[in-house]
Each structure stands twice: as C-alpha cells, then as structure tokens.
Amino acid sequence: MEQKILNKSRQLFYTYGIKNITMEDISKNLGISKKTIYKYYKNKNAIVHSVVEELLKESAISMNAITDKSTDVVEEVYSQMYNMGNQVQLIKLSFFLEIEKSYPELMEKIAKYKAEILSEKIKSNLRRGKESGVYRAELDLEEVALIRLGLIENSFTNNTFLSAGWHTKDILITLTNFYLHGITNQQGKELINKYIKKAG
C-alpha cells in the first residue's frame, strides 16, 4: 500500500504540480481514506520527500545501467540524454520550481546528488573519452563537467526557451549536440553523425 500511495502521489505531483494536490486528492484517486495514507506518511511533505528521493535513486540506477551497456562515450551521452528527456516529459515544470522554492532540504539532497553522482558520471565519461581519443585532449574535466551540469539545468528551467514554446526534451537534445560538438575531435564528430542519423 505504501508504494501504491507513493506511485499515485508521484503521478499527481508530476502532472499537476505539488501545490495543487492535497491529501484529499491523493485519497480520492486511490479510492482509500486519508486515514490509511496517514498510516504510512505523516503529511504531504513526507510524500514529497519520498517522491524526490525515489526519483534520484532511480536516476542513479538508470545512469549506471546506460554506462554499462554503451559501446562508446558518445553513445553514452546520447543515451543518458534520451533517458532524461523521457523522464522530464512526464513532469510538469512547476514540480521542479516548487521544489526549488519551498523545499530547501530537498534542494540540498539534489545538490548532493549532482555533486556526488551526476558530476562524477560526467567526469568519468570525459576521462574515458579523452583516453579513447574521441574527446579533445586539452579539455579540463572540472570546467567541462560544470558546463555540462549547467546545460542540463538550463534544459529544465530556461524561460527563454520555454517561453518560445520549446519542449524540455528538445532543449536537452539541442544543448547536448552543442556540448558534444564542443568537446569532440574528428573521430568523435563522426560518432555524433552516426548517432544522429540512427535517431533520425
């Protein structure tokens, strides 16, 4: 039951935002009483915390799985990008904005995730790309990893793109292509063209 509550809450938060969903909404959508929900979760904030923690955990697992099955570093970047894009397609932008505005303790967990998991995954990809002769040899891992993190964050929150009617997934794809073209040598650019053609 606890997982059912979490799954339904997650769906509702992603679709309508956190602020717009009450415990009453969750109970009605599940066809259970609020009393049943309170057996597992103290309040709505506790559910929000669990939703975000599960999202971060699932993201880390999927990133590791993608790294393991990718044949080269460029394929890995594109696969990670499509995975993120597919995830964010299901999530209303207000969900992230409300987390940023109203849940500072969750923002700390997200910051820790970015520093300890996402950033390290990016640097690992860059390191392997340089070693395999696909990325430019002079790249500074720390600087480029920060740039990549910034590009990913911009995909979710950049109002310039969003107000122009861009979808988050399209922003992510465009910025990823700019990123890869900036860090690859000729061998890497051939791989970029290969995967773009494959996707098209």
CATH number at residue 169: 1.10.357.10
- 96-106 pLDDT, tens digit per residue, is 889 989 999 99
- 46-78 pLDDT, tens digit per residue, is 999 999 999 999 999 999 999 999 999 999 999
Angstrom distance (rounded) from CA 162 to CA 145: 24
135's enclosing H/E stretch is none
Tokens representing 177 are 């292509």
* Alpha carbon of residue 111 to chain centroid: 13
Q: How many domains does the chain have?
A: 1
* 32 phi and psi angles, rounded to 5 deg: -130, 170
pTM: 0.86
For 192, the 3-state DSSP assignment is: helix
Residues with Cβ within 8 Å of 6's Cβ and at least 6 positions away in sequence, in order, are 47, 50, 51, 54
User: Domain of 68?
Assistant: 2-199
Q: Are 93 and 153 in contact (CB under 8 A)?
A: no
Radius of gyration of the chain (CA): 19
